[in-house]
Amino acid sequence: MRFDLRDLELFVAVANAGSIARAAERSHTVASAISKRISDLEENFGTALLSRGAKGVELTAAGHALLIRARVLLHQAKQLDEEMRRHATGARGYVRVFANISSMVEFLPAALASFAAKHPDIHVHLEEHVSAVIATAVANNSADLGIISEQPAIDGLTALPFRRDDLVVVTMPSHALANRTSLTFAEVAELPFIGLHADSSLHHLLTRAAVEAGVALNWQMHVTSFDVACAMVAAGLGVSVVPRAASTLYIKSLALSAIPLTDDWAARHLFLCTRSGAELHSAARVLLDHLRESG
């Protein structure tokens, strides 16, 4: 390998700035040095990474591919540096946890706060991801523990019950369904619908449920979080289905109505997942036991 992390850092800086001169200014580096490093990268890979013009630079197809990979590598290198520095300062443990948004909003804050109080020498590195990404990360050892909203569909994982977070329909108080004590998904699927982004496990769950019920979801928009979904409902743009526990705060603050879904799949469970057949290191085991006991 004939390039280093500094080459990648400067390439990303140029891509972000759209200009070698601006990247040089922001990186406190001479422009000619950046230009030379990128030329060396292009020679090393045997392909052009930038299209240079009077107004700046544009990424080629190869440049776009490198940018994606470079950002991942630089992020991982930063994580590695942080982990090694913690070992150097005497920290007893470092645990990598990937979790979905429901667990991060509702269940993990208190659990991790009490864990930190009991185990100040164990650092927990926490990242939010969708369940499919989490399961893959645990399986390939990019994460020690995962918290997901459905049983993993890939081999090599062990799933343990963690919490229950039932799904509810959220409406404005003035909505015709707001006073109902329960609803089926089929009753709301064809209403103007606010959903989470297409990569989320909840989106996949609702899409699958609509197919099985023989109805077409009337998507009005897709958003990135439960608080935004609730805000859109409060603005009168539609209804939404969200996890009750993860959205209680937003539902109360916006004075929305939350009606339980009676469909079997709406009784949603969260799971802790670990790699099958691989013994957790001591710090990860301590955290796993704490999370299971803190419910």
pLDDT at 239: 95
pLDDT at 86: 63
Separation CA 80–CA 82 (nearest Å): 5
Among residues 166, 171, 200, which one has the least CA distance to residue 188?
171
The answer to whether 162 and 130 are in contact (CB under 8 A) is no
pLDDT at 245: 78
pLDDT at 56: 84
Q: Which fold has domain 5-85?
A: Arc Repressor Mutant, subunit A (1.10.10)
Position 10 pLDDT exceeds 80: yes
Tell me the pLDDT tens digit for each residue of 82-109.
Answer: 777 766 655 568 899 999 888 888 889 9
Among residues 49, 46, 47, 52, which one has the least CA distance to residue 31?
52
Residue 206, Cβ density class (10 Å: 0-12 exposed, 13-18 middle, ≥19 buried)? buried
Strands 157-164 and 167-171: unpaired
The answer to whether 34 and 15 are in contact (CB under 8 A) is no
Residue 263, Cβ density class (10 Å: 0-12 exposed, 13-18 middle, ≥19 buried)? middle
- H helices within the chain, ranges in order? 5-17, 20-27, 31-45, 61-88, 101-102, 108-118, 131-139, 185-188, 201-213, 226-234, 244-253, 282-293
Q: What percent of the chain has pLDDT over 90?
A: 49
The CATH superfamily assigned to 167-266 is Periplasmic binding protein-like II (3.40.190.10)
Q: Which fold has domain 92-164+269-293?
A: D-Maltodextrin-Binding Protein; domain 2 (3.40.190)
Q: Where are the domains of the chain?
A: 5-85, 92-164+269-293, 167-266
Q: Same fold for the domain at 92-164+269-293 and the one at 167-266?
A: yes
pLDDT at 121: 86
Separation CA 166–CA 245 (nearest Å): 7
Tell me the pLDDT tens digit for each residue of 179-198.
Answer: 999 999 999 988 999 998 88
pLDDT at 203: 87
Amino acid of residue 94: Y
